[in-house]
Amino acid sequence: MTMYSRIIGTGSYLPEKVLSNLDLESMVDTSDEWIQTRTGIKQRHIAAPGQTTSDLAMEASRNAIDAAGIRASDIDLVIVATTTPDMIFPSTACILQNKLGIAGSPAFDVQAVCSGFIYALATADMFVNSGKSRNALVVGSEICSRIIDWNDRSTCVLFGDGAGAVVLTQDQKPGILSSHLHADGSYNQVLSAPASIHSGEMQGTPFITMEGGTVFKFAVKVLEEAVSEALRANNLQSSDIDWLIPHQANIRIITSTAKKLGIPEEKVVATVAQHGNTSAASVPLALDQAVRDGRIQSDQYVVLEGVGGGFTWGSILLRW
Ligand code: ACO
């Protein structure tokens, strides 16, 4: 009998501090009008100095575990997607596992930048549908604010902090129907935080650098392709899709992609105005919001998609 993995609980967490576009006006030469027109972003959340990526992940995970109606001790796989880990090693997933008071099961991080949650969920799906894991915790958690040059107006207005999590469990009923992952490393310098450590010294800049226009065009192209690929693989039309949950980088990328796919705006979950781009956390944050406010209902078709540094990109199609 074919087994599937199914999301049985979602959760999220946003740090208390909100940084508005007006706040940014007093920090760099920008305007609320410019930011909203070019990106759709109104505000973003910023982690407190003492908070770590695993702290944010912990809050989101607790909410997801509660929603799933299981105990933390039922979790037998922990995957954290992050670009901003607590430290070089151990993985943020191991630190999170310890904070959840569990031990023994595999725990590891996935680094695929803004596609990280799509990569992590696709990976967990393979553990769960094959029977290797029973209950997987999959988290996207980021403190982007720590790798931003707050003097660079071309990047500092775009990003925010947060975490989202899901619990995946094995079920005879789908569940995740397909996942499609891609990467093209020839773009590795177009979007990066190109620092490295040499003999204890940092070389290069740890701040996000990007060619915004190239990222924009590439994102719209591959996101349309990744969703179309998912539809073809499941013999579905775009009109069958109830909810598109895109990576939240820029409202213009989101609406251009939806338009190319023929998916109407009212079926697109957009949180970028409130969250900014939270990298690997953006898709699970948007998913949790749409589950909790009752938009996503049983048996509906939901497509998740993401694109990010690498470049990496992909899609996951599921039946709720
Ligand atoms: N405030 C005011 N002016 C600004 C700002 C700012 N914050 N940033 C740039 N500008 C200026 C530029 O200097 C430029 O001025 P100039 O014409 O005098 O040279 C002007 O605004 C236009 O700049 P463009 O870069 O052409 O603006 P564009 O419309 O392309 O928007 C943006 C830039 C928002 C970065 C867009 O290219 C974009 O969203 N790209 C995708 C990048 C992205 O989302 N990256 C996130 C990570 S990747 C991911 O998550 C997939």
- CA angle centred on 81, ends 75 and 85, rounded to 5°: 105
- 45 CA → ligand 1 middle, Å: 20
Closest to 76 measured CA to CA, from 137, 165, 131? 137
The Cα–Cα gap between 304 and 302 comes to: 7
Instruction: Check residue 102 and give its pLDDT.
Output: 98
Looking at the predicted structure, is the pLDDT value of residue 1 above 80?
no
Q: Is 235 a catalytic residue?
A: no
Instruction: Check residue 311 and give its pLDDT.
Output: 97
Pocket of ligand 1 (CB under 6 A): 30, 34-35, 38-39, 114, 153-154, 157-158, 191, 210, 212-213, 215-216, 219, 247, 249-250, 277, 307-308
- Residue closest via CA to ligand 1's atom 3 equals 30
- Residue closest via CA to ligand 1's atom 8 equals 154
- Residue closest via CA to ligand 1's atom 46 equals 249
Percentage above 90 pLDDT, the chain:
99
- 8 A C-beta contact, residue 284 and residue 12: yes
Contact residues for 26 (Cβ-Cβ < 8 A; gap 6+): none
**Rounded to the nearest 5°, which phi and psi values hold at 308?**
-165, -170
Q: Tell me: the pLDDT tens digits for 191-205?
A: 999 999 999 999 999
| Confidence at 2, pLDDT banded by 50, 70, 90 | confident
Q: Tell me: the pLDDT tens digits for 224-281?
A: 999 999 999 999 999 999 999 999 999 999 999 999 999 999 999 999 999 999 999 9
Q: What's the token pair of residue 307? A: 């694109």
Active-site residue, from 114, 129, 144, 156:
114
Q: Is 247 a catalytic residue?
A: yes
Q: Is 198 a catalytic residue?
A: no
Looking at the predicted structure, is the pLDDT value of residue 123 above 80?
yes
- 26 CA → ligand 1 middle, Å: 18
Q: What's the token pair of residue 251? A: 């409202």
Mean pLDDT of all residues in 52-73: 98
Rg (CA), the chain: 18
Cα end-to-end span (Å), the chain: 20
- Residue closest via CA to ligand 1's atom 31 equals 38
Active-site residue, from 63, 129, 250, 277:
277
